[in-house]
Amino acid sequence: MQHALILNRLIPEQDGAGRVCAINAVTHDGRSVRFESDPQQRVNLTALEFQQPPLLLLMDQLLEPFPGMLAVPSSALVAVVPLGAEQIRTLLSEGQGDALLRATSEQLL
C-alpha cells in the first residue's frame, strides 16, 4: 500500500437498477475522492459501502485527474485500517489528521 486517506464522508452512487456503482467521498482536508467499480470488480465498493466515517483507508493506486479531485480505480487494492470512527474523530477534532496520515505513511515505507 502506498497511499493513505482519512475519509469524513461517503456518498454511494447508484445505477438505474439501484445497485451501488461508485462511491464519492470527502477527505478530512476537503478533497473529493471517487471510488470506481466495474461489473467484474466491486469488492472496494462492498468494503466501503457500510463503513462508519471517519475512517482511515490504505490503497495502492490513487489518481489525481484534476487538482483537488482524486480517483481510486476499480483495480486498486483498498484496505480499511481497523481504527474506530470515534478515535479518528477525536484525533481530527484535536487537529491531528495530518499527523495520523504522516505516521501511517511512514509505516508504509
Query: For the chain, which domains are there?
Result: 3-108 (2.40.50)
Q: What is the pLDDT of residue 1?
A: 65
**The C-alpha cell of 24 is what?**
464519492
Q: What is the pLDDT of residue 63?
A: 96
**Percent of all residues in the chain with a pLDDT value above 90, rounded to a whole number:** 77
Q: What is the pLDDT of residue 64?
A: 93
Question: Is the pTM above the cut of 0.75?
Answer: yes
C-alpha to C-alpha distance for 4 and 98, rounded to whole angstroms: 10
54: left (phi over 0), alpha (psi -120 to 50) or beta: beta
pLDDT digits (tens, 9 = 90+) for 34-78: 999 988 888 999 999 989 999 999 999 999 988 889 999 999 999
C-alpha to C-alpha distance for 77 and 7, rounded to whole angstroms: 16
Nearest to 71 by CA among 34, 46, 38, 42: 34
Three-class SS state of 15: coil
Confidence class of residue 30 from pLDDT cuts 50, 70 and 90? very high
